[in-house]
Amino acid sequence: MGKVLMVQGTGSHAGKSLLVMALCRIFSREGLRVAPFKAQNMSLNSFATPDGREFSRAQAVQADAAGVAPLVEMNPVLLKPQDGIRSQVVAMGKPLCVASAREYRDMTSQLWPLVTRSLDTLRESNDIVVMEGAGSPAEINLREYEIVNMRVARYAGAPVILVGDIDRGGVFASLLGTVALLEPEERALIRALVINKFRGDPSLLNSGLEVLKRRTGVSTAGVLPFFTDVTLPEEDSVGLEDFPAARPVTEAALDVAVIRLPHIANFDDFDPLRREPGVCLRYVDGPGRMGSPDLIVIPGSKTTVADLEWMRQRGLDRSVSAARRAGRPVVGLCGGYQMLGHRILDPERVESDRPQTEGLGLLPVKTVFKSKKATCQVKADIVSERGLMTGSQGSSISGYEIHMGRTSGAGSAPFRIRERSGRPADAPEGALDSEGLTLGTYLHGLFHNHDFRRRLLLNLAAKKNIALPAGAVLDMEREYDRLADQVSRHLDMDAVHSIAGLSS
């Protein structure tokens, strides 16, 4: 069986996923077979595997950093929040049910065997599995039912690195309090502390680190800086709360506004736009923040109807429609695509208790929700040549679909799917209006296609009669290496190797 090392945090957004990603890359560069693992994740950012199953996007990215194929065993349980009370439970890549927090608590005993079997499978084929916890292990009211933190560590006998976020304040209290609230056998598994997101001179922390060691008996293995020069996907929508534009609108050639839906899903769809020179990517949650963007994007959503109603309550529906009437382009992805149509039908009450909801009416399509979920990787050809698509016809793109709605109508399809989950296909996809300025599609990852993205941006720039700076192709391999290099510099890797039972 492969060795195990676990990263837990004092709370959400402490930097667990980033550290796991870095360790996966570091161990992989050392020639080890390594896999990430998170027993249970709660996220609306998900990924479709080649065999048509679904798991957390964060673990897919960690697998990519490790240089291995993504497997659902890396995240056997995925919770996708729906309405603030209930979540869709995805088990081993397939939707299982929709459950409240109390109902899910009662399900954990039946889900636990999936967790242990998945972890054992990964250990059998890897030299080391780098495991990630969720939230905090010190949620004492949840201890009896949790299947992702100390219960996993105890099962695997895994040494634990505990990470605290200093950027949000109170890091010493968070680390000390977390350790203090653990049971003795759990406390014994904490082998190192790490302070994350520090800005400034780390020597200023020395006296505090000494107190931490004295009070917990655990040494600090490193102080990681607040990384600003590594481009990696954000896992949690918490990261969008203070999402900074890469450049101000006044300094950008193009202004792209993304509607900040309450249940925004797969928001890493927009990372490539944010990295484009000359583009300002903004998240907008009200008409007063809309301004006059060159492109409006309605993102994916786990709760299309609820988020559409939220837009109407805010007046964002009128802002989007008015912008489109003024000649500004609008793109809808997945749930955003469904919103752009005339009607959303849900006769089986799959997503909401409304059998019918009026859409924004910007595309001549309707959506019908079905109980069976579509999850697949896709390759498609671009078959349209107008508006946003000018100059793209004949080229190919790739992406993935994760949705429960089926959309149809009279609008012309801008894409032709040629392959679904590795099997040949020949089907229309998406809709484009007569001007070519309203585009709807189910293809997540659309903007990750460099040639398509650049052509769309060049068309927007031509519409304004301006020049657009040359774009750069993002090299994720280089970004993973940069992250690994920086973490290696600030983390005592000799101590980490020793803790994990590996040779330095």
Whole-angstrom distance, CA of residue 125 vs CA of residue 106 = 32
**Inter-axis angle of helices 316-325 and 304-314, nearest 10:** 80
334 flagged as catalytic: yes
Could you tell me how many residues make up the chain?
504
Q: What is the pTM of this model?
A: 0.88
Cβ neighbors of 155 (< 8 A, separation 6 or more) are 116, 119
Which residue among the candidates 24, 280, 334, 376 is catalytic per the annotation? Answer: 334
Residues of the chain with pLDDT under 50: 242
Which residue among the candidates 263, 403, 444, 448 is catalytic per the annotation? Answer: 444
Q: Taking the CB of residue 82, how many other CB atoms lie within 10 A of it?
A: 18
Helix (H, G, I), strand (E, B) or coil at 491: strand
Are 176 and 209 spatial neighbours (Cβ–Cβ below 8 Å)?
Answer: no
Q: Which domains does the chain have, with CATH numbers?
A: 3-231+478-500 (3.40.50.300), 238-471 (3.40.50.880)
Long-range contacts of 249-252 (CB under 8 A, 24+ apart): 249/280, 249/282, 249/291, 251/280, 252/278, 252/279, 252/280
Whole-angstrom distance, CA of residue 95 vs CA of residue 188 = 36
Whole-angstrom distance, CA of residue 302 vs CA of residue 386 = 30
How far is residue 429 from each of residues 97, 238, 266, 416, 418, measured CA to CA in Å?
Answer: 28, 32, 19, 6, 10
pLDDT at 239: 52
pLDDT at 503: 80
444 flagged as catalytic: yes
Whole-angstrom distance, CA of residue 178 vs CA of residue 420 = 46
pLDDT digits (tens, 9 = 90+) for 380-421: 999 999 999 999 999 999 999 999 889 998 778 999 999 998
Helix (H, G, I), strand (E, B) or coil at 40: strand
Half-sphere exposure of 411 (CA within 13 A, CB side): 30
pLDDT at 234: 64
**Inter-axis angle of helices 57-66 and 476-490, nearest 10:** 80
CA angle 437, 440, 445 (to 5 degrees): 110
Residue 450, phi then psi, degrees to nearest 5: -55, -50
- Structure tokens, 418: 């040629």
Whole-angstrom distance, CA of residue 282 vs CA of residue 124 = 45
pLDDT at 247: 59
